[in-house]
Amino acid sequence: MATRQERGWQRRGRGGAAAGQSPVTMESGKMFAEAVRVAKESHPKTTTKTVKYGTAGFRTKAEELDFVMYRMGILAAMRSRDTRAAIGVMITASHNPVPDNGVKLVDPQGEMLAPAWEAHATTLVNATDDGIAAALEAITSAAKINTGNAALVIVGRDTRWLF
C-alpha cells in the first residue's frame, strides 16, 4: 500500500494565501458558481429548518439528506485543500432506525472534524442554494485556503443494510 508521501499527499504546510492576499480568486469564483448551479439543478435545498453539525455530524431522515450530502462533499474538498491531506466523508446509520441516516467528516488522522470546521459545515448546509457561493467564499477567506491545492476525499458508508 502506498504511503501518503508516495501518493504525493505529504503534508507540506497549509499552503494558504500569502499575508494580505485574498484566497478567493477568479478561478475559485467560477468553481463556487458551478457548485451553485449543480446544487440548484441536482441537489436543491429541501427544507428551511436550521440544522447543526454536532459530534455525530448531521443526522436526519434519508429523504432530507441529499442537499446535505452534496454540500458536505464540497466542504470535505475544501477541508482537504486546507490540510493538504485526505478527508473522510462517512455516510452512516449504524445505530439508528432504518430510515435515519447521517453524514460526518473525518479529519486526516481519523479524528473528529475541527470545531471551526463544524461551524463552517453548519453555515454551508444552512445557506440557501443562492447563498452557497458566498458561504464558500467566507469559509475560504476565514481559513485562508488556497483553492488551487489538490483535494482528496475518501467516502465510507455503513454496510449493515446491504442486501
**How far is Cα 57 from Cα 102, in angstroms, rounded to an integer?**
7
Which amino acid makes up residue 103? V
| Exposure on the CB side of residue 69, measured as CA atoms within 13 A | 17
Based on the residue annotation, tell me whether 94 is a catalytic residue of this protein: yes
- The whole-angstrom separation of Cα 27 and Cα 152 is 19
**Active-site residue, from 28, 42, 80, 94:** 94
In whole angstroms, give the CA distance from residue 139 to residue 133.
10
Catalytic residues: 94
